[in-house]
Structure 1
Amino acid sequence: MRILLTGSSGWLGRFLAPLLRANGHAVTGLDIAPGADTDMIGSVADRALVDRIFAERGIESVIHGGALHKPDIARYPAQAFIDVNVTGTLNLLEAATAAGHDRFVFTSTTSLMISQAIRDEAGEAAVWLDEASGPIEPRNIYGVTKLAAEQLCRLAWLNDGLNCVVLRTSRFFPEEDDTHRALSGENMKANELLHRRLTVEDAARAHLVALEKAPEIGFGSFIVSAQTPFSREECAALKRDAPAVIARHFPDAFELYRAKGWELPKSIGRVYDAALAGKLLGFRCETDFGTVLESLRRKAALPFAHDPDYISPKEEPGVG
């Protein structure tokens, strides 16, 4: 297929574009910043540009990964989030519908599921989050606009028959966390693979699978995260004493971590359940916490990317 990939210069795009091409697809990359996989420089908020790309490139399907993200809240006004995340999504959906497409994949985020109450983690048990969780009450403009974009996808399927798969990805950024620095970046990423992270390689694979499955799904929203080893019944114990729960699943985790100079999480306040993606999409992440421990046992390279100096291409000098 001839695919329009938005956000092609970003962290996901640099892994997803080559994967799509390796699977026989012709990719047109659109981003506001230049990149190895970006053919067109511009914004999805520019409807004339979107229409021109569809016409000139003969676009047959869309993977919409471009967006303003949570760290951008400190750099951009709320209106910019609406222009890019909401209006931009509508532009692409309307163009895809007009072109008679049968599939559209939208990169969303688990962040929109986190209300302020969930983020505060004040309860006595970890919050178990799956696609049935709610009510959905995003705590910032990023989450609000991504939820609105998801609903535009739902309407495009309901009203126009455009098959849309929404992927609520958990964390896969390579840089340091912008709010928590108690542990090293690698230590935090390893811990998060227990309950709220996936690798960028797995995120890219999920989009390829969603593209293939969209006509079969119709409309669906899926959490995409490394499969947690935990169960709902362990939520209270996870909040109270996470190392004890981890030890039940991974008896040598403490010793492996100690040898690395790492710490296990003392408490886990929320867990993403990605089981539905496995059931309906047939997708499961290849890398999880067990993979991390195996790399520690073998003293091999860690199975995820960590780059504390990573800067989004759109924030490079001279861009925008």
Structure 2
Amino acid sequence: MARILLTGGAGYIGSHTYVALSEAGYAVTILDNFANSDRDVLDRLARLTGTEVDVVEGSVLDRALLDRLLSERAFDGAVHFAARKAVGESVARPLDYFETNIGGLVTLTQAMRDAGVFRLVFSSTATVYGEPEVFPLTEEMPLSHTSPYAFTKITCERILEQAALADPWAVGVLRYFNPVGAHPSGLIGEDPRGVPDNLMPYIAKVALGELPVLRVFGDDYDTPDGTAWRDYIHVMDLARAHVQSLDALMEGRSHVVNIGTGNPVSVLQMHAAYQDAVGRELPYEIAPRRAGDVPKLYADPSRARDVLGFSAEYGLAEMCTSSWTWVQAQKRGWGFNS
């Protein structure tokens, strides 16, 4: 049984990936400092997998901790989620993002190198494509950044490229589009603190009555209904992509792939689908466009299919239904912040 270090494994995507890895037969150790997650997720993961969670509390910036952990346990690879991820916050606090995202990757990979562990799945993002004008997005397109967050992800990808020239790394870079939804059990899901930046959690809070109305930023884009197009992917599909990426690394097959559906969804389409999941109308209003928003952002996922055998299985209805199951469970007091 291969043992995997899962950094940031108590967070939204990390917790779902923990379940998928466990179900695939991997032994997983979570490393998390719980800066953006709650410890009660560990009990939920134990319920879902039927085994106690092996967790180490700490930061990927702590080299001494990483050295000790990697020397005590025979790891075969790592999946690296631990990072800051809010675009707006990165603009206000770029140095914090450079420290955690870039510094964390360097510290982790140095410790892995010294321990002789050279398999790493890296959590990247579609924001590395900047403000593209040609769609769908392919992995060969030039990279650029419009925020410090995106800059850190591009830098991390470049660091891993250079590291692989010196040591026998097998690296999987997964460029996510828009993860949404929740585990069908309703035990784990996304619950961002404060007012969400992303569309689905915002609609969910409107459905719960925690926010009065969905604000739709712009209805005059060059899209069928005038609202922005995005590529949403169910978090369970995304978790499975990490398993398939790791499987490929076990065979020595490095890769850089987009993880999306290739089927863009507009803001109003998402709103309508969530209304169907809830079973009632949800108020919305049209607001001016936001600075920096692009009309379209969606993937060509064919390389992930060809290289990993990955393709999305869940559709928009399942994304919304699983999200609503999760947020209703939250309302009943299950309470987990991702």
Tell whether the structures are fold-level matches, with TM greater than 0.5: yes
1:270-311 CA-to-partner distances (Å, cap 9, x unmatched) read: 32221110111111111134xx2xx69xxxx72446649887
- Match of 1:228, SS state, is coil
C-alpha RMSD of the superposition: 4.0
1:200-239 CA-to-partner distances (Å, cap 9, x unmatched) read: 1111111011000024464321110123279xxxxxxx9x
Q: Percent identity?
A: 25
C-alpha displacement of 1:83 = 1.6
The reply on whether 1:280 has 2:299 as its aligned counterpart is: no
1:88-109 CA-to-partner distances (Å, cap 9, x unmatched) read: 1112222222222342111111
Change (3 A) 1:22 1:87: same
C-alpha displacement of 1:38 = 6.4
The reply on whether 1:111 has 2:127 as its aligned counterpart is: yes
Structure 1 match to 2:148 = 141
Given that 1:227 and 1:284 are in contact with CA atoms closer than 8 Å, whether structure 2 keeps it comes out as no
Structure 1 match to 2:211 = none
Q: Which runs of 5+ in 2 are unaligned?
A: 43-52, 181-189, 208-213, 215-224, 287-293
Structure 1 residues 204-283: aligned runs within 5 Å: 204-216=239-251, 218-228=253-263, 261=281, 269-283=296-310
Equivalent of 2:177, from 158, 165, 170? 170
- Count of matched residue positions in the alignment of Structure 1 and Structure 2: 273
1:178-219 CA-to-partner distances (Å, cap 9, x unmatched) read: 1769x835999xx99x74111111111110110000244643
- Match of 2:179, SS state, is coil
1:125-150 CA-to-partner distances (Å, cap 9, x unmatched) read: x643121122x221111111111111
CA distance in structure 2 between the aligned counterparts of 1:216 and 1:130, rounded to whole angstroms: 24
Structure 1 residues 74-153: aligned runs within 5 Å: 77-115=93-131, 118=132, 127-134=135-142, 136-153=143-160
CA distance in structure 2 between the aligned counterparts of 1:217 and 1:279, rounded to whole angstroms: 16
Structure 1 runs of 4+ off > 6 angstroms?
Answer: 308-311
- For residue 201 of structure 1, what is the amino acid of its counterpart? M
Change (3 A) 1:151 1:268: same
C-alpha displacement of 1:19 = 2.1
Given that 2:81 and 2:122 are in contact with CA atoms closer than 8 Å, whether structure 1 keeps it comes out as yes
Equivalent of 1:184, from 203, 206, 211? 203
Q: Which runs of 5+ in 1 are unaligned?
A: 231-237, 247-252, 314-320
Equivalent of 2:76, from 52, 60, 75? 60
The farther-off stretch of 31-40 and 11-20 is: 31-40
CA distance in structure 1 between the aligned counterparts of 2:88 and 2:9, rounded to whole angstroms: 18
Given that 1:227 and 1:285 are in contact with CA atoms closer than 8 Å, whether structure 2 keeps it comes out as no
Structure 2 match to 1:318 = none
1:71-129 CA-to-partner distances (Å, cap 9, x unmatched) read: 571697322211211111112222222222342111111122233xx4xxxx7xx6431
CA distance in structure 1 between the aligned counterparts of 2:305 and 2:110, rounded to whole angstroms: 30
Change (3 A) 1:67 1:208: same
Structure 2 match to 1:317 = none
C-alpha displacement of 1:177 = 4.6
TM-score, normalisation: structure 1: 0.71
Change (3 A) 1:283 1:262: farther
Change (3 A) 1:72 1:50: farther
CA distance in structure 1 between the aligned counterparts of 2:172 and 2:310, rounded to whole angstroms: 13
Structure 1 match to 2:289 = none
C-alpha displacement of 1:51 = 1.0
- Match of 1:81, SS state, is helix
C-alpha displacement of 1:26 = 1.7
Structure 1 match to 2:3 = 2
Greater share of strand residues, 1 or 2? 2
Equivalent of 1:158, from 117, 140, 165? 165
Change (3 A) 1:311 1:146: farther
- Match of 1:39, SS state, is strand
CA distance in structure 2 between the aligned counterparts of 1:76 and 1:211, rounded to whole angstroms: 34
CA distance in structure 1 between the aligned counterparts of 2:113 and 2:93, rounded to whole angstroms: 30
Structure 1 match to 2:27 = 26
CA distance in structure 2 between the aligned counterparts of 1:114 and 1:168, rounded to whole angstroms: 13
Structure 1 match to 2:232 = 197
- Match of 1:204, SS state, is helix
TM-score, normalisation: structure 2: 0.68
